[in-house]
Amino acid sequence: MEKKEFLEAAKIINTHGVSGEVKLESYCDSADVLKKLPALYIDGKEYKLVRSRVIPGDFVLAVLDGVSDLNAAIRLKGKTAYARREDLPKKKGAHFIADLIGLPVIDARTGKVYGTLGDVQTPAKTEIFYIDTGAKEPVMLPHVGEYVESIDEERGIFVTPIPGFFDGGDDEV
């Protein structure tokens, strides 16, 4: 699978003040990562970060090159900001979510394919994998060692679910 050059980094959720500053909700590992990026890409256009700072709630206030007044900032509100893959730090053994979406979710013991990874959300400190199994609703699996044995970006996500997790009680142990 070809890896995307640009990855979602933040959403512009509001303006701040009248001089064009924007408030960003970070999709990065932390707001500090977002704050340190050299540029963001919005609608295919590069915006260098002139100044940025982290504020309470793990948000970032940023001045973007070329956004010098409230009207320009308002036009960006609600838009997704992207970062170049090479500008985002990645710890050894970590993965970008964009590289995991669409991977098969496979039982590490039996090789049974349960479905594909449709989404990843982080409502708290633990990522939740949303697995498309063909059922009406996705199966939600916490990304913790007890359930996710390993991730191979070429082969899939290998899991060890408890009995009944995917199909109502008849998973083999």
Query: Does the 6-85 domain belong in CATH 2.30.330.10?
Result: no
Fold exhibited by the domain 97-159: SH3 type barrels. (2.30.30)
Q: Specify the pLDDT at position 1.
A: 61
97-159 and 6-85 share a CATH fold: no
How far, in Å, CA of 144 to CA of 126, rounded? 7
Question: How do the domains of the chain map onto residue ranges?
Answer: 6-85, 97-159
pLDDT in tens, 105-143: 999 999 999 999 999 988 777 889 999 999 899 999 999
pLDDT in tens, 41-87: 999 999 999 999 999 988 999 999 999 999 999 999 999 999 999 99
pLDDT in tens, 18-44: 999 999 999 998 899 999 999 999 999
67 touches 20 (CB < 8 A): yes
